[in-house]
Amino acid sequence: MGLGLLVPAFLVGLSALLVPIVLHLRHRDKDRPQKFPSLMFLEQLPIRTAERRRITDWPLLLLRALALALLVLAFARPVFSRQAVAERANRVRAVVVMLDRSMSMGHKDVWQTAVDSARKVIMSLGPSDKVALVLFDDEADIVQPFTIEKSAALGALAKAKPSPRGTRYAAALRAARQLVLRAGNAKSEVVIVTDLQRSGVSGVAGLDLPEGLSVRTISVHSKSSANTAVASVDVRRLVEPTKTMLSVQARVLSRELPQSRIAHATLMINGRIAGVRDVTVPASGDVPVAFDPVLLPAGRVRGAVMIDNDALTADDTLHFAFTADDALRVLLVAPDDATADETLFFERALGVSRAPLMRIDRVRRGQLDTRILENASLVLLWDTPPPSGAAGNALTQFVQRGGGLVVAAGRRYPARVAASTLMPASVNGSTDRVTDRGGSLGDVRLDHPLYAAFRDAPAALSAARFLRYPRFEPAVGTEVIARFDDGLPATLERREGTGRIVLLGMPLDTRSGDFPLQSAYLPFLQKLVLYSSGRDVTTLWRATGQSWLLPGGLKDAAVSTPDGAIIRPAADTVGSTVALRESGVYSLYEGRVQGEPAGLLAVNAPTNESDLTPVDARELLLGVRQSAAAANASNDIPTPEEIEARQRMWRILLAAVAVLLLAETIFANRGWRGTASRLSIAPSERSPS
Amino acid sequence: MPAAPASFLDPALLARISDLALLARTVVDGFMHGQHRSMRKGSSMDFAQHRSYQPGDDLRRIDWRVFGRTDRYYVKEYEADTNASVIFALDSSASMDFGSGALTKYDYGRFLIACLAWLSQHQGDRVGLATFVGDLVDVVPASTRHLQLLLHTLGRSRATGVGNLTTAIDKLTHLTARAGIAVLVTDCYESPEALGKAVASLRMRGHDVIVFHLIDSAERDFPFTAATTFEDSESGTRLPLRPDDLRVKYKALVEAHHAALTTKLIGAGADYIRVATDKPLDVALHAYLDRRLARSRVR
């Protein structure tokens, strides 16, 4: 039962139960004897003393004894255990209605069915039941906390609409968990109204839900999962002698169509139709759609590829945005005594790049200033330390605003290194590996973006030999990405502001090794430039649910969302971030929202959201654990309401005592002994005179 | 004999009438309505006077000789049923002050005596009253002019004290030297043998004795159910009882008591009439008149 007593000493008072019994035996009816004309006959009847002494009014005696016992119990302050309170509170239900509002819910009439199902669940609750409404896609919004007002939940439900975002059941269940833990001891139930999209299941496994929480799913997915979507877009610049053309190729994906069909695809560039194609979409599979090249507009380009609307229209359009001029300008700072052939391999390796174009400008170390750095994406210091003075300050500001800095240490470096705040490591001489035919890269972090391209061919990296390299000692906050086979750091990275500083211990020329002669040299350098300059994260679009870290250096940044709203994000230590909630093109402005935007970012729903394949409800909750620890997570410190709920018993007992005493009064004076009273006639009232 | 309208005799209705004279007149008039009044008067052979014939008079009592001389109808009246002394004795012990219905036994007894006295007065009898407990309390000597005094005395009397029926009857025996009719109204809480002897001594004095034994339905049926302490109205003795267990035995004792009273009193030459106080008064009045007629004596 889980019942305890706060003051058990009061139970001694139960001995007072003897009082009504003794009174009952000794003093019963003494107050109101029944008048009778004569006991002449009654006294002749044999009446045993024991019989006269026995308890005659059992109901009355029990009433009095029960009232006394309850009174004693009330003073003993009974208290329910947490479990008992929970069991008692189980009569009240706390239902969390979770409505999937992801993009896939817009398929056919799935959304209306889902809203109707959620409304039915809410309406079926009792008057004392609590309900909360959570709308979820890739994140969960508690639009209505627990309330007993069904109309409030229905009102919030009426305002809900599908979003262009993905599905993530784990986020929804976590939100439900938090709600349930705050629901007290009511019997909790989570009702998930969803299309059970398989792509949203990831992350559910291992989730810890409170023990006893009932999770129920209401599947509203359409019988047909047929869907066609624009899955991806690729743009290529076709450089011709006099102009640059833009070639756009899209990929249209179809799933579970009853049969192949012809889709009408349209390419929009800067709001105008730039191409049209009719493609035959297979029943299941994808088909490329290549549009005719069009003249590449200048500046920032926004585009979209659209196909005929089907049952799910939200994924029939894919937005993209890019900058027409994507040339990546690299400032090569070489020592004055460097020969032209020393950087030959390096310059040729970058020069062959077409996407993006990489343009190398050689500058002297002392020429670095704000003007030269303005249009640069990357500064590469060839076997020379960072400059000091004004050039050093300009370089520091360049990096902090997001520019890239690569320091390629060569044979001269140990002798010329100077103290600089930009250096991620100090140099302690150099290592000569001539005697053992050169060293190689030993420990390389292939999960790092810089080396990720070699994940499938790590031997290409280890093939390079390095005869002499500096001995770096990493500074605090510096990350070692790769090491030589003797354990010395080979590649180091440090973030400065929003920019990246990469320090290479590997010689990039042929004087101290054969790295330029290896197959890994060219992809490594191109990746090095892209990564260090930050260009590697530049994509044609991003998925909803992600965030946009605005480039530094903007004053009073303002972002125009696809639905026309203006966001002026506040900057923090990392920078200004905008959450991408809608599909379309976000425009970044500096100051006033007008004119040419400072940046464009296309946002689309996650491509896996177009896969409408449902998952079995049991499979959805297969990895979910339910533990008592989770149930008690928020109950370690009982709330005042819970304490009151546990000790509320004494009030009930006192009320019961009052009722019993009232019943005893009625029973004793009217209902029970009134039979005899009605037979008594007051003589004085009957007198004729 | 047709019954009187019950509305005039119902105890519940009578309980609302505080004036005993009015009550008695109402009851008797209602009771006598439609009866042959001439049957109640002039049954002796002693001529008294002539009077004019009135509708309702018995045609057999017309003096045809006078009609022959005068061509008018006259009836002859005789000195009939007159001058009998009727002494009413009312038990005023506390046991009489009990009633489970509209009336206590004492009230019923007073109503009964008032009606009988009224009736007797109009029969030409002398009426007297004696209330008693252990001894005589109030005494109204028998007289043709004491009806109002009798009613007044009845009205102010109260039932209280411990009764002693045999002693009271002995005192009643010495109350008058002239033989008459003694009407005893009591609840008979006395030994039948002792009561029989007392009544027998009264009969020895030449009195005709009519005993009205008043009994309440609760006394007879003992309907109590709850375990209760019973208190004797006269002695105050208390007795905790469970009535359900004792009812059968109690009723058997009461019936045996009644049977013994019947045997002893009739054996003593008295008329014993047991009257339940929840019954209309006409039962007692009929019984009285029947006895009175049967025992009427002409002086």
Q: Could you read off the pLDDT of B141-155 as tens digits, one per residue?
A: 888 888 889 988 988
Q: Tokens in use for A674?
A: 């009134």
Q: Indicate the angle between helix axes B105-123 and B281-294, nearest 10 degrees.
A: 40
Chain B (84-113) residues lying within 8 Å, Cβ to Cβ, of chain A: 95-101, 103-107, 110-111
The pLDDT score that the predictor gives to residue A248 is 92
Q: Please answer yes or no on whether B249 and A45 come within 8 Å at the CB atom.
A: yes
* B187 neighbourhood in chain A, CB within 8 Å: 37-38
State the average pLDDT over residues A677-685.
Answer: 40
Q: Are A258 and A282 a contacting pair, CB within 8 Å?
A: no
Q: Are A44 and B253 a contacting pair, CB within 8 Å?
A: yes
Highest mean pLDDT of the ranges A12-21, A215-224, A464-473, B116-125: A464-473
Q: Please answer yes or no on whether B228 and A681 come within 8 Å at the CB atom.
A: no
* B228 neighbourhood in chain A, CB within 8 Å: 29, 33-34, 673, 676
State the average pLDDT over residues A232-255.
Answer: 87
Weakest mean pLDDT among A250-254, A540-544, A599-603, B25-29: B25-29
C-alpha separations of B30 from B10, B33, B277, B285 in Å:
12, 5, 19, 12
Say if residue B22's pLDDT is above 80.
no
* ipTM, interface predicted TM-score of the complex: 0.77
- Whether chain B has a CB inside 8 Å of the CB on A223: the answer is no
Which of B156, B224, B254 is the closest to A689 by Cβ? Answer: B156
Q: What are phi and psi of A531, to 5 degrees?
A: -70, -45
- Tell how strand A244-255 and strand A227-239 pair up: antiparallel
* A42 neighbourhood in chain B, CB within 8 Å: 230, 239, 241, 246, 250
**How many residue pairs bridge chain A and chain B with CB atoms within 8 Å of each other?**
120
Q: Where in chain A is the domain with CATH 3.40.50.410?
A: 87-224+614-631
Say if residue A491's pLDDT is above 90.
yes
The pLDDT score that the predictor gives to residue A357 is 79
- Per-residue HEC secondary structure of A258-314 comes to CCCEEEEEEEEECCEEEEEEEEEECCCEEEEEECCCEECCCCEEEEEEECCCCCCCC
Supply the DSSP string of B135-201, one letter for each residue.
Answer: SEEEEEEEETT-HHHHHHHHHH----S---HHHHHHHHHTT-SS--EEEEEE---S-HHHHHHHHHH
Considering only residues A204 and A88, tell me which one the structure prediction assigns the higher pLDDT: A204
Provide the pLDDT confidence category of residue A627 given band limits of 50, 70 and 90: low
Q: Please answer yes or no on whether B229 and A679 come within 8 Å at the CB atom.
A: no
Longest dimension (CA), chain A: 150
* B224 neighbourhood in chain A, CB within 8 Å: 34, 675-676, 679
Q: Are A345 and A500 a contacting pair, CB within 8 Å?
A: no
Q: Please answer yes or no on whether B250 and A681 come within 8 Å at the CB atom.
A: no
The pLDDT score that the predictor gives to residue B1 is 36
The pLDDT score that the predictor gives to residue A211 is 77
The fold for domain A87-224+614-631 equals Rossmann fold (3.40.50)
| Buried b / exposed e along A596-616 (16+ C-beta atoms within 10 A) | ebbbbbbbbbbbbbbbbebbe
Which of B23, B240, B246 is the closest to A29 by Cβ? Answer: B240
Closest CA to A472 of A403, A408, A525: A408
Q: How far apart are CA B32 and CA A622, in angstroms?
A: 105
What domains appear along chain B, each with residue ranges and CATH number? 6-33+82-294 (3.40.50.410), 45-78 (no CATH)
Q: Where in chain A is the domain with CATH 3.40.50.880?
A: 328-537
Weakest mean pLDDT among A35-49, A140-154, A211-225, B84-98: A35-49
State the average pLDDT over residues A215-227.
Answer: 86
Out of 3.40.50.300, 1.20.120.1200, 3.40.50.880, 3.90.230.10, which CATH number does the structure's domain A328-537 have? Answer: 3.40.50.880
Task: Report which secondary-structure segment, H or E, holds A230.
Answer: strand A227-239
Considering only residues A646 and B127, tell me which one the structure prediction assigns the higher pLDDT: B127
Report which residue type is found at B14: L
Contacts (Cβ under 8 Å, ≥6 apart) of B223: A679, B100, B217, B243
| DSSP-based three-state secondary structure for B297 | coil
Q: How far apart are CA A617 and CA A288, in angstroms?
A: 35
Considering only residues A670 and A504, tell me which one the structure prediction assigns the higher pLDDT: A504
Min Cα–Cα distance to chain A from B95, Å: 4
Provide the pLDDT confidence category of residue A569 given band limits of 50, 70 and 90: confident
Provide the pLDDT confidence category of residue A406 given band limits of 50, 70 and 90: very high
pLDDT > 70 in chain B, percent: 79
Q: How far apart are CA B155 and CA A548, in angstroms?
A: 114
Min Cα–Cα distance to chain A from B55, Å: 38
Q: Where in chain A is the domain with CATH 2.60.40?
A: 542-607
State the average pLDDT over residues B186-193.
Answer: 91
- Tell how strand A577-579 and strand A547-549 pair up: antiparallel
Q: What are phi and psi of B66, to 5 degrees?
A: -65, -35
Say if residue A264's pLDDT is above 90.
yes
Helices (H) and strands (E) in chain B, counts: 10, 10
Q: Please answer yes or no on whether A41 and B254 come within 8 Å at the CB atom.
A: yes
Report which residue type is found at A237: R
- Whether chain A has a CB inside 8 Å of the CB on B283: the answer is no
* B218 neighbourhood in chain A, CB within 8 Å: 679
In the DSSP assignment, the letter for residue B289 is H
Average pLDDT for chain B: 80
CB burial of residue A654 (10 Å; 0-12, 13-18, 19+): middle
State the average pLDDT over residues A150-174.
Answer: 90
CA angle at residue B184 from B194 to B203, to 5 degrees? 60
Q: What is the CATH number of domain A542-607?
A: 2.60.40
Highest mean pLDDT of the ranges A249-253, A453-457, B57-61: A249-253
Q: Please answer yes or no on whether A37 and B99 come within 8 Å at the CB atom.
A: no
Highest mean pLDDT of the ranges A38-47, A266-275, A365-374, B49-58: A266-275
pLDDT > 70 in chain A, percent: 87
Q: Please answer yes or no on whether A47 and B241 come within 8 Å at the CB atom.
A: yes
State the average pLDDT over residues A325-347.
Answer: 86
Average pLDDT for chain A: 83
Provide the pLDDT confidence category of residue A631 given band limits of 50, 70 and 90: very low
